[in-house]
Amino acid sequence: MDNCLKYIAALAVVLLSLFTVFFLMVQRSCRPTWFEPANAHIMPIGLDTVTGNIDTAGKYPASARLGFALHIVPEYVAEAAIEPGILGLSDTLTRFSAEIPDGQGGWKDATEQFFYGLPEECGALSGTTFYLGNLAVRWHSSWADSLRTWATIPGFVRRFNGKWLSGLEVQGAVFTFWLKPESDLAAKNSLTFRVRLETQKGKKWTRRLYINRVLSSSECREYLRKVAAGDSITLLYDSCATNFSHFIFIDHNRKARFYNLLLRFRIDEYDREQYEDFLKAQPGTLIEIPADLPREWIKVYPYQNRHYAYYPSDFGSHYQIQLNEKAFIGFQMDGLELYRIKAISRVDDQTWEIRTVSGESIRLSRLTPRSQIWRWKFSDREYLMTPAGHLRNLPVIVNYCEEQKQVEFDFRE
């Protein structure tokens, strides 16, 4: 009997100890903590206060408020199912700051220039949804439980580590931060900054952002005047920001510098080796080029019932032909297109035929009598081309972007 009582007492002590440990763990897990971001994104944003549109590509018009959005996808672990007080892998945010270049290769804190919340100009932002990949993201912009629409970033951190924003509240959320209206940074045409996160467990995470103000129409045209003679331009497309400008325009100036590269027929060192190897592998007799057949040709394009020269974004898409006594030379993206010429003959007043040693027959014929636009027909393709000496008689469509290659102009539009 005594042994039984001793056993029951010992069991009670063990159960009480287990209950105490469990209680303390639940209490600990319920502390104000946030989910450690297993997947975090920082996006530049511009809010157009006229239209209410949100731009996350790093461009903003002059009427926009600008800032960044923090998007968090929490990480959930098995403990969430075992112990209800643990909702996921939790950690505490110890630093959340925005920094700008200090001009000496480093960074300086600019957190006080930003606020968290909702810009007063656009109340429709709060509660709206947009899509990031396949995730539906809801904006958390207003300062909860208060009539205030925004707060400082340190204030946001305290609330974020607290009960209001802990737990499931952050799932699929975007928290928005904006430059203060009186900030000197807001007046800049472009802004480079980075966002820095640190947690109690020692994790550090930074992301650099770039925001460019979209130039106004007058500013855009002024920039374009620096590219070409402004009074000779018909603008077809523009995407104009301070550090990134893409124009597609027609230049009607027959002395425009854009013709120069189009008219350059030059075999570089790599192509020279290919050309010489070809001549060795394809021996043949020299062919006389008829005096009234131009030796240099450049591809042209029809657009809105006219023909144009085209200055491409990527010169790999530029096609031109040169004829000499030894070969047909086509300049293209993957090197030279080479044929040994066997014979050149006139079919009629409007047509020539070039026959090659390999059996290729190439016909070129005028589109209309006395036209300087010719149709070149190969066995598998055809081009519209003009003699190089005529190219400056055509206006040139220019696809201009200094920063990076762009999709080529679609002449079918």
Residue 223 and residue 204 share a domain: no
Interatomic CA distance for residues 98 and 113, integer angstroms:
8
Beta strand pairing status for 361-366 and 351-356? antiparallel
Q: According to the model, what pLDDT value does residue 220 have?
A: 80
Interatomic CA distance for residues 122 and 141, integer angstroms:
11
Cβ–Cβ under 8 Å, residues 212 and 190 = yes
**Boundary (domain end) residue, out of 169, 194, 213:** 213
Any domain includes 7: no
Any domain includes 10: no
Residue 221 and residue 162 share a domain: no
Cβ–Cβ under 8 Å, residues 350 and 266 = no
**Boundary (domain end) residue, out of 192, 213, 234:** 213
Interatomic CA distance for residues 55 and 68, integer angstroms:
10
- Whether 305 has a pLDDT exceeding 60, the answer reads yes
Any domain includes 9: no
Any domain includes 34: yes
401: tokens are 């972007």
**Boundary (domain end) residue, out of 165, 196, 213:** 213
Residue 243 and residue 132 share a domain: no
- Whether 116 has a pLDDT exceeding 50, the answer reads yes
Q: How many domains does the chain have?
A: 2
Which strand (E) or helix (H) includes residue 11?
helix 2-29
Residue 157 and residue 231 share a domain: no
> Domain residues for 242?
217-401
Any domain includes 16: no
Q: Which residues contact 142 (CB under 8 A, 6 or more apart)?
A: 117, 118, 126, 149
Residue 272 and residue 186 share a domain: no
Interatomic CA distance for residues 114 and 314, integer angstroms:
40
Q: According to the model, what pLDDT value does residue 29 have?
A: 42
Q: Which residues of 107-133 are buried (b: 16+ CB within 10 A; e: fewer)?
A: beebbebbbbbbbeebeebeeeeeeee
Residue 343 and residue 256 share a domain: yes
Please compute the mean of the pLDDT values over residues 122-126 and round it to a whole number: 51
Residue 169 and residue 143 share a domain: yes
Residue 131 and residue 119 share a domain: yes
Q: What is the pTM of this model?
A: 0.58
Cβ–Cβ under 8 Å, residues 178 and 193 = no
Any domain includes 168: yes
Interatomic CA distance for residues 106 and 89, integer angstroms:
33
Residue 205 and residue 83 share a domain: yes
Q: Give the chain's mean pLDDT.
A: 78
Largest CA distance in the chain: 127
Residue 202 and residue 226 share a domain: no
Interatomic CA distance for residues 44 and 65, integer angstroms:
11
Q: Of the given ranges (49-53, 261-265, 324-328, 387-391), which has the lowest mean pLDDT? A: 49-53
Q: According to the model, what pLDDT value does residue 398 have?
A: 95
Residue 278 and residue 136 share a domain: no
82: tokens are 């075992």
Interatomic CA distance for residues 194 and 107, integer angstroms:
9
Name the percent of the chain lying above pLDDT 70: 73
Q: According to the model, what pLDDT value does residue 403 have?
A: 78
Any domain includes 252: yes
237: tokens are 């497309």
Any domain includes 23: no
CA proximity to 99, closest of 195, 210, 203, 175: 195
Cβ–Cβ under 8 Å, residues 156 and 96 = yes
Residue 245 and residue 198 share a domain: no
Please compute the mean of the pLDDT values over residues 180-186 and round it to a whole number: 83
Cβ–Cβ under 8 Å, residues 79 and 87 = no
